[in-house]
Amino acid sequence: MHAFNYHRPSNVNDAAAQAVKGEAKVLAGGQSLVQAMKLRLAAPSDIIDLGMIKDLAGIKTDGKTVTIGAMTRHAEVARSADVKKAIPALAALVGMIGDRQVRNMGTIGGSLANNDPAADYPAAVLGLGATITTTKGTHTADKFFKGLFETALKPGEIITSVSFPVPKRAAYMKFKNQASRFAIVGVFVADTGAGVRVAVTGAAPCVLRLAEMEKALTAKFAPESVANLKVKPDGLNSDLHASAEYRAHLITVMARRAVEAAMK
């Protein structure tokens, strides 16, 4: 690891100001950034640790939405009775992130700002049509995820919270990479009451929605609506663990299983 300056601001405005200096990086759990630093792949001049900013963490529910503070650890979301009651699929998804150690440190804000193509959270955020609040305003999920490790966040813009509308029913199915346990394909299906959203992570350079499946499921929310909907492998990721063809196949399988799970 290269040497760096460490900052631990107590409020988000100070953090935002520090974050634009030099080659600064914001630390929000550090489950990707610290690994990259240890491997000397990332060498930030300054680390702005959000861990001491108290009002960035916490979970609020009002029956219609679940709002999660950016620095809320995965473990806290996974075991939250409120989240489990309002959006059980979200609590279940978070419980599948990484391992126990990762979940104790990793945060929703960190995950979304990083936008790893195989991360789980983006599937829930896009699948549920969540709203991302930052130090500079709000982003809809549909406009937040821009590409491989790319988001709508501007330099110095820090996520403060994420609001999830409570769906009628939803489920997430994840097919894990055996080694990393990241999603090779993860499909989040949500019946919002005003239509169905289907978001896929792991399969492509960035989380995406599947319009054809959404249409079929909006017409009839049932496994058979998607069971035979083949996905084209064009543009999907292809690596040692899964070819684009295999991923395309898995999207259909995981979507069908997610619908089955949502109906239970």
Partner 1 sequence: MGAPLIGARIQRKEDYRFLTGAGQYTDDVTLQGQTHAVFVRSPHAHAKIKSIKKDKALKAPGVLAVFTGEDLAAAKVGGLPCGWLITDVNGQPMKEPPHPCLAQGKARYVGDHVAVVIAETLDGAHDAAELVEVDYEVLPAVADAAMARAKGAPVLHDAAPDNTCYVWALGDKAAVDAAFAKAAHVTKLEFINNRLIPNAIEPRAAIGLYSRAEDAYTLYVSNQNPHVERLLMAAFVLGLPEHKLRVVAPDVGGGFGSKIYLYAEDVVVTWASKQLNRPVKWTAERSESFVSDAHGRDHHTIAELALDKDGKFLAMRVKTTANMGAYLSTFAPAIPTILYATLLAGQYTTPAIHVEVTAVFTNTAPVDAYRGAGRPEATYVVERLVETAARELKLDPAEIRRRNFIKQFPYQTPVALLYDIGDYEATMAAAIKLADVAGFPQRRKEAEARGKLRGLGYAAYIEACGIAPSAVAGALGARAGLFEAGEIRVHPTGSVTVFTGSHSHGQGHETTFAQVVADRFGLPIESVDIVHGDTSKVLFGMGTYGSRSLAVGGTAIVKAMDKIIAKGKKIAAHLLEAAEGDIEYDRGVFKVAGTDKQKMFGEVAFAAYVPHNYPHDKLEPGLNENAFYDPSNFTFPAGTYVCEVEIDRDTGTTKVVNFTAVDDFGKIVNPMIVEGQVHGGITQGIGQALTEGCRYDATGQLTTGSFMDYCIPRADDVPSYKVDTRETPCTHNPLGVKGCGEAGAIGAPAALMNAITDALGIKDLPMPATPQTVWKALQNKKAA
Q: Which residues contact partner 1 (rule: CB under 8 A)?
A: 1-3, 39-40, 175, 177-180, 182, 240-243, 246, 249-250, 253
Of residues 85 and 232, the one with the C-beta less far from partner 1? 232
Of residues 67 and 243, the one with the C-beta less far from partner 1? 243
**Nearest approach, Cβ of residue 135 and partner 1 (Å):** 32
Contact predicate 203/247, CB 8 Å: yes
252 vs 236: CA distance, rounded Å: 13
Q: Which SS3 state, helix, strand or coil, does residue 90 take?
A: helix
Residue in the block written with tokens 């406009």: 143
**Nearest approach, Cβ of residue 252 and partner 1 (Å):** 9
128 vs 137: CA distance, rounded Å: 19
Of residues 10 and 178, the one with the C-beta less far from partner 1? 178
**Nearest approach, Cβ of residue 237 and partner 1 (Å):** 13
**Nearest approach, Cβ of residue 95 and partner 1 (Å):** 14
12 vs 119: CA distance, rounded Å: 25
Q: Which SS3 state, helix, strand or coil, does residue 234 take?
A: coil
Of residues 179 and 211, the one with the C-beta less far from partner 1? 179
**Nearest approach, Cβ of residue 81 and partner 1 (Å):** 26
Of residues 31 and 61, the one with the C-beta less far from partner 1? 31
State the CB neighbour count (10 A cutoff) for residue 168.
Answer: 12
Of residues 221 and 246, the one with the C-beta less far from partner 1? 246
**Nearest approach, Cβ of residue 73 and partner 1 (Å):** 22
- DSSP character for 235? T
Cβ within 8 Å of residue 69, ≥6 positions away = 55, 56, 57, 58, 59, 108, 109, 160, 161
Residue by residue, DSSP assigns 151-180 as ESPPTT--EEEEEEEPPSEEEEEEEE-TTT
